[in-house]
Structure 1
Amino acid sequence: MKSGGIWDIFPCVVIKGACDYADSHKTKVWQRYAAATAATCMRTFLDNWIPSQTGQCTGPWFYVPYPENESFMGRESILQKLQQQSMKPASKMALNGLGGIGKTQIALAHVYWPHKTSPDVSIFWVHAHNAEKFRQSFVSIAQECQISGSFDPKADILLLLKRWIERKESGRWMIRTSFLACRRNQ
């Protein structure tokens, strides 16, 4: 009963052993037997299970935490400059300006453009507001892409991701980093 409905939230297989079948017939006598049969069934299942995907998953990937803003308009000249610059190999771009002027919306319009026009390009959005958010973004990307070793808490995720993304098989990619810079007048 406790696992009923979990597959609606998380894709999984639930294997249980039942030791009572109604409120009037509850007894602890069969609990160990039910646990043992469930464990045996799980072991047999795992021994015979062949995963549908072996190794790492393949892309392209689109890892952007925000939906496209369908009502975004304007800023065509800025978007054209970004698009031209992004066509160059190993290009780097930066949007800067005061808070609230639309940098994130421009960046979103820019990352959804290659997603539509070049669906073979992987796009990753990395939060870099602080060191922890930066690291967690890369952990999430590594786990989403099922990079070997990414679920090991002792692994150097940044190095794993760097090596993975540099491989030819990883294809073309773009990383969009968002960060918040504050400057104090002194």
Structure 2
Amino acid sequence: MVMASSVSFLGPNYGLQIGNNYGSINAQFLLPDDSGAVNSISTVPFERDPGFIEPGLLLQHVADICSKPAARLALVGPGGIGKSQIAIEHAYRTHHNSPDIWVFWIHASNSARFELSYRMLADEVKIPARIDPNTNIFKLVHDWLQDPKHGSWVLIVDNLDNDDFLRRVPSSGVPLSSFLPRCQHGSVVFTT
């Protein structure tokens, strides 16, 4: 006797088990979406400091400058005075007050960390070409950020104490500094 039957498991892969089966199985498998459609996120790698004491109106001044189109701002001073803490607090406030704004953290203490941060950014926003080993990751991220369809963003370039690596011209023929985007829907905050 031949039995023909069909079983469907509903929901996101809910209850899919296969033992001895003598009929057909119709199953829906939900795979991770890699289409590039991602909600805005924050990639700040540090926890917010609950004991942060605002230095006067400085954070409001940072927010005011960064709210202008194509803004660039540098927090400059000797090590240990709190430049990165100000950037961290600005990032958390920005993402809290405007959850549709992307907040990206770039480590810029050297070229290797800078490149790794760009690669991590490409992974976070799921840029399809990021997996191609021949892709210029700097151009890829730059072009993604320049595209207004991805929305507004803040790029925090932290620990840029020595920008020599940004000014050197590598084999690509273009200095890395040219891949720090400047557009109407984004702002860049440097700590140095």
TM-score class, shorter = 0.5 to 0.7
Question: Within the alignment, does 1:99 sit opposite 2:86 as a pair?
Answer: no
Given candidates 125, 130, 153, the residue that maps to 2:110 is: 130
Given candidates 25, 33, 37, the residue that maps to 1:57 is: 37
Partner of 1:84: 64
Task: Check 1:122–1:71 CA distance in 2 against 1; reply closer, same or farther (3 A cut).
Answer: same
**Does the Cα contact within 8 Å between 1:85 and 1:93 map onto a contact in 2?**
yes
Given candidates 91, 100, 103, the residue that maps to 1:120 is: 100
Percentage identity across paired residues of the two chains = 32
Note the 1:1-186 alignment, pairs <5 A.
Answer: 49=29, 51-181=31-161
Task: Check 1:54–1:153 CA distance in 2 against 1; reply closer, same or farther (3 A cut).
Answer: closer
**Does the Cα contact within 8 Å between 1:122 and 1:174 map onto a contact in 2?**
yes
SS in 2 for 1:108: helix
Supply the distance in 2 between the matched residues of 1:165 and 1:60 (Cα, whole angstroms). 12
**Does the Cα contact within 8 Å between 2:45 and 2:105 map onto a contact in 1?**
yes
AA at the equivalent of 1:88: K
Supply the distance in 2 between the matched residues of 1:87 and 1:169 (Cα, whole angstroms). 18
**Does the Cα contact within 8 Å between 1:115 and 1:121 map onto a contact in 2?**
yes
SS in 1 for 2:75: coil
- Over aligned residues, Cα RMSD in angstroms? 1.9
Partner of 1:17: none
Runs of 4+ in 1 over 6 A off after TM superposition: none
Unaligned runs of 5+ in 2: 1-27, 163-192
AA at the equivalent of 2:85: Q
Partner of 1:4: none
Deviation at 1:146, TM superposition (A): 1.0
TM value normalised by structure 1:
0.68
**Does the Cα contact within 8 Å between 1:59 and 1:170 map onto a contact in 2?**
no
Deviation at 1:180, TM superposition (A): 4.4
After superposition, the C-alpha distances for 1:3-49 in whole angstroms (9 at most, x for unaligned) are xxxxxxxxxxxxxxxxxxxxxxxxxxxxxxxxxxxxxxxxxxxxx84
SS in 2 for 1:69: coil
Larger radius of gyration: 1
SS in 1 for 2:157: strand
Deviation at 1:51, TM superposition (A): 2.6
Deviation at 1:152, TM superposition (A): 2.0
Supply the distance in 2 between the matched residues of 1:76 and 1:120 (Cα, whole angstroms). 27
Unaligned runs of 5+ in 1: 1-47
Supply the distance in 2 between the matched residues of 1:54 and 1:147 (Cα, whole angstroms). 8
AA at the equivalent of 2:65: Q
SS in 1 for 2:104: strand
Deviation at 1:57, TM superposition (A): 3.1
Supply the distance in 1 between the matched residues of 2:111 and 2:48 (Cα, whole angstroms). 26
Supply the distance in 1 between the matched residues of 2:110 and 2:29 (Cα, whole angstroms). 42
Which is strand-richer, 1 or 2?
2
Which is helix-richer, 1 or 2?
1
